[in-house]
């Protein structure tokens, strides 16, 4: 069965109040854009941003780019109106900030079910201490057919703020939480996207953090500036070597003499059927990236 893969190597935030950025998003090679109504928008711009984002998403023109709206939390003055506007705009997903427990996702899903929103997913920001403790329970909410939870997005700036942890190069202290979110997401078939790298003119630092996120199992990285897109697209895509190794494994298992074998040798290394599955995924991801033309 073909794998349904949507590349999410580069997931670019932009303030919903910035009309130039909303327009610019149409020509940027990001796999996904997040139009933000929350942290990137000042309180006196919340209404303006909501209307601009609603009309930009409804009007469309984002072609193969996945479009996500990040609302303010339901407990804020703007959350409910944001949710109604986002539902009316029909993005690919609505990103819910500061999710603490599964019930926070259920409340959003309840608003969805009143609106017949088959193609709109819920994404959850994982950025509070409680979310780290409840990650498994939050991801498990997606097992309910009425809850279209599809992705976790790490909010590392808020996590640092709320816990007192320091965001230092290497992110050593964050690793347990990053891996907790990866495990919870994968246990329930969700995508998982890494937090932002604030120093947007430091390409070397960004590359190291992208590589770390990739090695942790993340699908991609959230970004804050267009100059970060190419690095994330490169790091989170299978390399030519990855594709060649994957092809070799697929070809080897396709040989008649290997039809009944569980483990074989490919290029001097053991390859099991689990490696065949990984190889098929690598080829599917590479094909999806090629199909997106980025």
Q: Are strands 93-96 and 121-126 parallel, antiparallel or unpaired?
A: parallel
Footprint of ligand COA on this chain (CB under 6 A)?
A: 12-15, 20-21, 24-25, 36, 39-40, 196, 224-226
Residue 7 contact, options ligand COA, Mg ion, none, Cβ 5-8 Å cut-off depending on partner type: none
Of the candidates 28, 105, 23, 10, the one whose C-alpha atom is nearest the C-alpha of residue 57 is: 23
Contact 97, 73 (CB under 8 A): yes
User: Residue length, the chain?
Assistant: 294
Q: Is 251 left (phi over 0), alpha (psi -120 to 50) or beta?
A: alpha
Cβ atoms of residues 29 and 294 within 8 Å: yes
Provide the minimum distance between the beta carbon of 280 and ligand COA in the complex, in angstroms, as a whole number: 34
Which of residues 214 and 221 has its CB atom nearest to ligand COA in the complex?
A: 221
Two tokens, residue 24: 């610019």
**Are 47 and 77 within 8 A, CB to CB?**
no
Question: Which option in Mg ion, ligand COA, none does residue 12 bind, with CB closer than 5 to 8 A by kind?
Answer: ligand COA
Q: How far is the CB of 28 from ligand COA (least distance, A)?
A: 7
Could you say which of ligand COA, Mg ion, none residue 13 binds, taking C-beta under 5 to 8 angstroms by partner kind? ligand COA
Q: Residues in the site for Mg ion, rule: CB under 5 A?
A: 39, 127, 155, 158
User: Is residue 34 within 8 Å of 193, Cβ to Cβ?
Assistant: no
* Residue number, 34 or 229, with CB nearest to Mg ion: 34
Residue 192 partner contact from ligand COA, Mg ion, none using kind-dependent CB cut-offs of 5 to 8 Å: none
Closest separation in Å from C-beta 93 to ligand COA: 15
158 binding partner (options Mg ion, ligand COA, none; Cβ < 5 to 8 Å by kind): Mg ion
């Amino acid at each position: 069965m073909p794998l349904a893969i949507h590349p999410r190597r580069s997931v670019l935030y932009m303030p919903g109040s910035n009309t130039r950025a909303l327009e610019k998003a149409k020509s940027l090679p990001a796999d996904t854009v997040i139009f933000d109504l929350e942290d990137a928008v000042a309180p006196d711009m919340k209404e303006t941003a909501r209307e601009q984002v609603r009309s930009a998403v409804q009007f469309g023109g984002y072609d193969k780019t996945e479009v996500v709206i990040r609302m303010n939390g339901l407990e804020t003055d703007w959350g409910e109106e944001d949710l109604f506007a986002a539902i009316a705009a029909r993005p690919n997903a609505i990103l819910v900030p500061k999710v603490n427990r599964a019930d926070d996702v259920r409340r959003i899903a309840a608003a969805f079910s009143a609106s017949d929103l088959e193609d709109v997913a819920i994404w959850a920001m994982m950025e509070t201490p409680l979310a780290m403790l409840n990650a498994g329970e939050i991801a498990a909410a997606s097992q309910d057919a009425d809850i279209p939870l599809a992705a976790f997005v790490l909010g590392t700036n808020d996590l640092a703020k709320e816990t007192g942890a320091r965001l230092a190069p290497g992110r050593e202290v964050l690793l347990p939480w990053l891996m907790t979110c990866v495990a919870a997401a994968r246990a329930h078939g969700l995508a998982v996207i890494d937090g932002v790298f604030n120093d947007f003119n430091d390409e070397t630092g960004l590359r190291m953090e992208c590589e770390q996120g990739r090695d942790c199992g993340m699908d991609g990285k959230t970004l804050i500036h267009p100059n970060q897109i190419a690095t994330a697209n490169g790091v989170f895509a299978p390399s030519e070597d990855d594709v060649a190794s994957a092809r070799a494994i697929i070809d080897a298992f396709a040989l008649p003499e290997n039809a009944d074998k569980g483990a074989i040798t490919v290029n001097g290394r053991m390859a099991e059927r689990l490696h065949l599955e990984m190889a098929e995924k690598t080829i599917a991801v590479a094909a999806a990236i090629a199909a997106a033309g980025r």
